[in-house]
Structure 1
Amino acid sequence: MLFKFLKYLQPTHYFGLNRQDESSVFPVVDEFINSTFQVDNAYNSEIAKQYDLSWRALQNGYIDYSDSINDIENVSVFDNYVFARKYFNKAWVLYVFILRILSFKNPIKEYRGFKNTRFVERYNNKNEIVKYEDYNGFDSQLIAKNPLISIIIPTLNRYEYLKDVLTDLEKQDYSNFEVIVIDQSEPFKKEFYTSFKLNLTALYQEEKALWLARNVAIRQSKGDYILLFDDDSRIEHNWMSQHLKTLDFFNADLSSGVSISKVGDKIPAHYAYFKISDQLDTGNVLLKKAIFKDIGLFDRQFEKQRMGDGEFGLRAFLNGYKNISNPYAKRLHLKVNSGGLRDMGSWDAFRTKHLFQPRPIPSVLYFFRRYFGKRQSILSLLRTVPISILPYRFKGNKPMLIVSGVFAVLLSPLILLQVLRSWYLASKKLNEGSKIQIY
């Protein structure tokens, strides 16, 4: 991590880990960065100024750099507070301050760092986003080669929405693709699929298992590219070609499309431009099939739980594959109230359906502990569990987050029991080991 305080603020983030070749994702400050981004003199040390430039370049969409920062030096407490105040809400800065005091850090240094950085203003990146103006006019040779794409859609009791999904695929401006639907519905309606003008294979799977479904379909696929899709989404006619074009333009291995949840919604600002992706969403991602052959399929330890796509995305990142966040490959994700993962298990990783269920879902802690270790997992629990007390619809509502914190204190004995149960069940998963199937 470029700044130590990130271990509190983003304890289980992809970019906090080095890849298998020991390289970090953060670019060495080069001529492009120096000419595009202004040095922030709020930092005391020159190395902190360089790290800030690197952070901003990566977050704002700098992709095609040649060298990354590998040997990271410590920066002062003061400079860490400058960084935290610049990029995170002041409530989270206070959270870091309290944690560090409770961790027996030097209270004088902490107080001075916290107090003397109050002048730092929150960063606004709108004038520093890296623009790829050649993209729109780019003539993709990959599209010209016309590779076969295998679109994989698991479904469960959502024929009403799946009809729209398949209709949208009929209208795509790229035509060389097959569709593989792994249908787990009860009852299975084989006749449903006969009316679509698609190269379509519908396979019935009796076991209600999302990651098994995707693994089965990947093995059945004939294409060199896999496009993972959901059964409750809507897309525009150029969705597939935009995925291919992005892979070609950036010489990338994965294209992670963006999602909106309501018709007419704008793409969230931090996903509205090209950048190296820090996530993978199996509802909207195109990737080379060769990746599965290299690092394996999805881990079935996540079956009927959450973060199986996050684990695969991190595995791809650690193995050096380039994943681009693609604002042009957009989908409308309806998130319907029935069917799909909601019928098989939990929809939300941190919010329980019942009072005495584990919090978070055990697969979350299995993922965190496996890749980030015990300490970072505990810090992640401190960061996420208190704000998960209130329902999902209040996510992002700042006043309600404060209420959530109050409730977390009042309900702390119950929450502790939920977390301990989740930790225990995650330990069982870790003892069993991964269930990553080989292609």
Structure 2
Amino acid sequence: MIIVYHKNNRISKVISVDKSEISFAKNKSIAFGLIQLAERFPESKLVWCHSDYQEVLNVEELNLIMHHNKMILSYNPSERNYLGPKIGYVEESLFIRVNKNVTYPTWQMSSLVGCVHTSILRATKETIKRDSCFDYYLNSIAKVCKPQGLLCYSEPRLLKKHFLVSSPKASVFTLFRFIKQHYKKRWIVMMFLNLIIYERQFPLGAFLYAYFFKNRKKNKTDLDAIKVNSSLKVIVNPTMDVIIPTIGRKDYLYDVLKDLAQQTHLPIHVIIVEQNPKQDCVSELDYIYNEIWPFVIKHTFTHQTGACNARNLAMSQVESEWVFFSDDDIRFESDLIGRVFKGIEQYGVLCLTTTCLQVNEYKNNFHIHQSNIFGSGNSFLRADLLKKVSFDKSLEFGYGEDTDFGLQLRNLGVDVISFPEISILHLKAPIGGFRIKPTFEWSKEEIQPKPSPTVMYVKFKYNCKEQIGRYKTTLFFKYHKHQNIKNPIRYLIYFNKQWQKSIFWANELKKRA
């Protein structure tokens, strides 16, 4: 392990883990110095630390914290990151509003303290310029390499004690440059427009300045040669329970049970919550009792419909160390659970999600990566976490319960890692025969809320105001061409009324949560 201390955008000292000093390039940028060290020490962890944090750097736990080589970690105790919240005007993802109290997935890096394996720096040597600003360089590496499989985190455990130290903040010119170099061209225009609308700013100079820079994502950085073998031991007892909410899909559910029965690594319990709103009916799942299954089936029959309630009921019955969130209309190979356990062990993760594609759908990312979503029909989770999370019943029959559940996990410090090579087929079965279309309180409103209040509820819960502004702008343009109101001024007035109505009902949902 090599530790680089820096101050005033220059390296001040380099030492090894045994505290022997290492020579370095003086009067060069920090990025230049790091690449030089990466060449000299090709199989080392490389730590950077602001000189003011030298006494509180958590050297003792670094190997535990950075448990495999395809990670980059950093931490800034300040609520404001280098690029600032305005980056939310172009990116709506969960990686923008960072929870600084837990290990949180984000590509937003900090120069104050961090750690990366030197193999990552060597892999980016030809594709990412060694910027004079160290913060810009780190953010660029993470933004470019995250889709290629680099796992990026804000990690508070890097420091034994947290206190604020002055750190660089990107100017509006730098912000526009970053957008041009790391996003599609249209987002430069969107940023310019959003700053006019929501900030009453007109940064024409920064807007034009950005066009002098080339996009860095066009030069693909290959990280495939960097192997992952986590030192974390997250599996003690490789047992799996499966939870399946179902309603009116008897034949499809039977196929799911048959696929589970063929697993090379069998589940212990399959927990089925069957819903039917008809008060005078009984279960139609006769095969649960008429056939012999190689696992215990826990069957709950309820007249109360709703996937949130059903999953919460099932979660309360889990006994194994791990749980598989399944749908009642999926198909999968016999080695699914076995491959999942291998992936969990290799990466040392607590939550894994698979590819879940419909017929004639194709995956667009072939790298194991940090997922933007949590799929409640194709995800695997360590069961002890079920005591800390639940499906929000305020979102019952609406949209966003999966997103909310996944964000609850991330705000506990649990990342969701996607394994594209592990695949589940989603048949997207027709709606079950017992389902009743839900009626919401806002269904009779003369002006219908847009977006759905459940979507707005989740966005207000987890997004920053800049991300909500971005969403509003894109929603306006997305639906304009589908409206009967073609006059843009009249449509804007009507759209704002719909938006305010959505906010009203989102706040009502919040009161009841």
The TM-score by the shorter chain falls in which range? Answer: 0.7 to 0.9
State the Cα deviation string for residues 62-88 of structure 1 (Å, max 9, x = none): 238896799764212232222212333
The answer as to whether partners of 2:90 and 2:467 remain within 8 angstroms in 1 is no
Distance 1:112 1:310 in 2: 38
Q: Greater shift after overlay, 376-385 or 335-344?
A: 335-344
Q: Greater shift after overlay, 46-55 or 369-378?
A: 369-378
Q: Does 1:206 align with 2:206?
A: no
> In the alignment, what sits opposite 2:357?
260
Give the AA of the match of 1:173.
T
Q: Which has the higher strand share?
A: 2
Identity %: 20
Q: How many residues align?
A: 409
Give the AA of the match of 1:416.
N
Give 3-state SS (helix, strand or coil) of 1:262's partner. Answer: coil
Equivalent in 29, 32, 36 of residue 119 of structure 2: 32
Q: Sort the Cα spacing of 1:123 and 1:387 in 2 relative to 1 into closer, same or farther, 3 A.
A: farther
The answer as to whether partners of 2:397 and 2:438 remain within 8 angstroms in 1 is yes
Distance 1:32 1:42 in 2: 16
> In the alignment, what sits opposite 2:339?
242
Give 3-state SS (helix, strand or coil) of 1:32's partner. Answer: helix
> In the alignment, what sits opposite 1:417?
497
Equivalent in 424, 427, 431 of residue 331 of structure 1: 424
The answer as to whether partners of 1:180 and 1:201 remain within 8 angstroms in 2 is yes
The answer as to whether partners of 1:386 and 1:408 remain within 8 angstroms in 2 is no
Distance 1:161 1:342 in 2: 16
Distance 1:173 1:404 in 2: 56
Greater Cα radius of gyration, structure 1 or 2: 2
Give 3-state SS (helix, strand or coil) of 1:116's partner. Answer: helix
Q: Sort the Cα spacing of 1:197 and 1:390 in 2 relative to 1 into closer, same or farther, 3 A.
A: farther
The answer as to whether partners of 1:29 and 1:54 remain within 8 angstroms in 2 is no
Residue 114 (structure 1) shift: 1.8
Distance 1:51 1:420 in 2: 36
> In the alignment, what sits opposite 1:395?
none
Residue 279 (structure 1) shift: 2.0
Q: Sort the Cα spacing of 1:22 and 1:323 in 2 relative to 1 into closer, same or farther, 3 A.
A: closer
Give the AA of the match of 2:342.
K
Which runs of structure 2 are paired with 1:32-431 in the superposition (5 Å)?
Answer: 32-38=119-125, 40-41=128-129, 45-63=133-151, 73-103=168-198, 107=202, 110-124=203-217, 127-131=220-224, 147-185=238-276, 188-193=283-288, 194-195=290-291, 197-199=293-295, 200-263=297-360, 265-269=361-365, 272-293=366-387, 295-339=388-432, 345=438, 356-372=447-463, 374=465, 376-387=467-478, 411-431=491-511
Distance 1:342 1:422 in 2: 26
Equivalent in 67, 79, 89 of residue 8 of structure 1: 89
The TM-score with structure 1 as length reference comes to 0.80
> In the alignment, what sits opposite 1:437?
none
Distance 2:511 2:331 in 1: 40
Q: Sort the Cα spacing of 1:20 and 1:161 in 2 relative to 1 into closer, same or farther, 3 A.
A: same
Q: Greater shift after overlay, 11-20 or 244-253?
A: 11-20
Give the 4+ runs in structure 1 shifted more than 6 A: 68-72, 140-143, 352-355, 403-410
The TM-score with structure 2 as length reference comes to 0.69
Give 3-state SS (helix, strand or coil) of 1:266's partner. Answer: coil
Give the AA of the match of 2:90.
L
State the Cα deviation string for residues 320-359 of structure 1 (Å, max 9, x = none): 123211113211223334239985559xxxxx99995322
Distance 1:180 1:427 in 2: 34
The answer as to whether partners of 1:19 and 1:318 remain within 8 angstroms in 2 is no
The answer for unaligned runs of 5 or more in structure 2 is: 1-80, 159-163
Q: Sort the Cα spacing of 1:325 and 1:354 in 2 relative to 1 into closer, same or farther, 3 A.
A: farther
Distance 2:177 2:380 in 1: 38
Distance 1:224 1:15 in 2: 32
Distance 2:95 2:181 in 1: 21
Residue 89 (structure 1) shift: 2.5
State the Cα deviation string for residues 382-431 of structure 1 (Å, max 9, x = none): 2345425678xxxxxxxxxxx99979876434433332221111111222
Give 3-state SS (helix, strand or coil) of 1:296's partner. Answer: coil
The answer for unaligned runs of 5 or more in structure 1 is: 347-351, 392-402, 435-439
Q: Greater shift after overlay, 70-79 or 330-339?
A: 70-79
Residue 273 (structure 1) shift: 1.2
Distance 1:381 1:267 in 2: 28
Distance 1:404 1:281 in 2: 35
The answer as to whether partners of 2:104 and 2:153 remain within 8 angstroms in 1 is no
Distance 1:335 1:353 in 2: 29
Give 3-state SS (helix, strand or coil) of 2:122's partner. Answer: helix
Q: Which has the higher helix share?
A: 1
Alpha-carbon RMSD: 3.8
Give the AA of the match of 1:360.
P
The answer as to whether partners of 2:480 and 2:486 remain within 8 angstroms in 1 is no
Give 3-state SS (helix, strand or coil) of 1:204's partner. Answer: strand
The answer as to whether partners of 1:408 and 1:415 remain within 8 angstroms in 2 is no
Q: Sort the Cα spacing of 1:365 and 1:210 in 2 relative to 1 into closer, same or farther, 3 A.
A: same
Give 3-state SS (helix, strand or coil) of 2:354's partner. Answer: strand
Q: Sort the Cα spacing of 1:421 and 1:248 in 2 relative to 1 into closer, same or farther, 3 A.
A: same
State the Cα deviation string for residues 95-147 of structure 1 (Å, max 9, x = none): 1112223445653xx22222232244444468324337756x99x9988x763
State the Cα deviation string for residues 359-392 of structure 1 (Å, max 9, x = none): 222122212212335554344322345425678x
